[in-house]
Amino acid sequence: MLIQMVRRSVFLFGLMTLTPFLGTANAQGYYQFLGPPRAVPDSFSPRYHIRYNTQGYDSPEVNWEKRAGKLRRKGVPDYAIAEMQQFPGGTDAIGEWIDQAFDEVQTQFMKCGSLASRAAHVSPSSLYVMIMPSAFFEPYYKIDVAGVYYPSTHQIHVLNIYYIWSGPNAGWLRHARDLLKWEMGNFFATELGVQPEPRPDGWPCSGVR
């Protein structure tokens, strides 16, 4: 969603309204599957030099011998636990995801004839990405979210990885890799005057204002 007054675009946690998520939040809260955040210096993505901060999740410090058993008892399946154990796949993986998201979204926008030239010249230099420890509360909408883009500061915040083990959304897995691409779409949309959300068929070409 985008609020023009404050120019915010938010990816709802699980694409649900606040009410259905309350049951899930009460059951598992802002569970940090990869442990608490750590203070680390900013990094830069390898190709576009987009500044980002992993909060230590480029190299999570988790005792998986204990954590895996605890998660299984909560009903988290082995495939989801394996995704968490492998996250992110390498110390440079998050930076590569950011670059990949920029590439893929820019290519998507360049397929729109009226946007192609401007999309090709969108600069990533102002972007800043933060990896969050869990789902987080978005105070303007008063809802829990998995990712958010703040156009006024050009910041993207996305959770690292999150599995919903109970409630109406049980079984849903959210991953930073996918969320980065979604929020990068919101970045390009606001830069180019395209409706960021909701996204109708044919978006972004169909979202030109």
How confident is the model over 56-69, as a mean pLDDT? Answer: 97
Residue 208 DSSP symbol: B
pLDDT score at 11: 58
Burial of 196 (0-12, 13-18, 19+ CB in 10 A): buried
Task: Report percent pLDDT > 70 for the chain.
Answer: 86
* Helix (H) or strand (E) run with residue 78 in it: helix 78-86
Q: Is the CB of residue 35 less than 8 Å from the CB of residue 61?
A: yes
Residue 6 and residue 141: Cα distance in Å, rounded?
A: 11
Q: How far apart are CA 92 and CA 174, in angstroms?
A: 20
CA gyration radius, the chain: 17
User: CA angle, corner 147, sides to 49 and 151, nearest 5?
Assistant: 60
Give the whole-angstrom CA distance, residue 72 versus residue 67.
9
DSSP 8-class letter at 112: S
- Comparing CA positions, the residue from 33, 22, 8, 31 lying closest to residue 147 is 8
* pLDDT, tens only, 87-126: 999 999 999 999 999 999 999 999 998 899 999 999 999 9
Distance CA 122, CA 116 (A): 10
pLDDT tens-place string over residues 20-45: 233 444 457 799 999 999 999 999 99
The predicted pLDDT at position 174 comes to 94
- The reported pLDDT for the residue numbered 8 is 53
127-134: average pLDDT: 97
Tracing tokens 């990094």 back to the chain, one arrives at 43
- pLDDT at site 46: 98
Reported as a pLDDT band with limits 50, 70 and 90, residue 76 is: very high
Give the tokens for residue 1: 């969603």
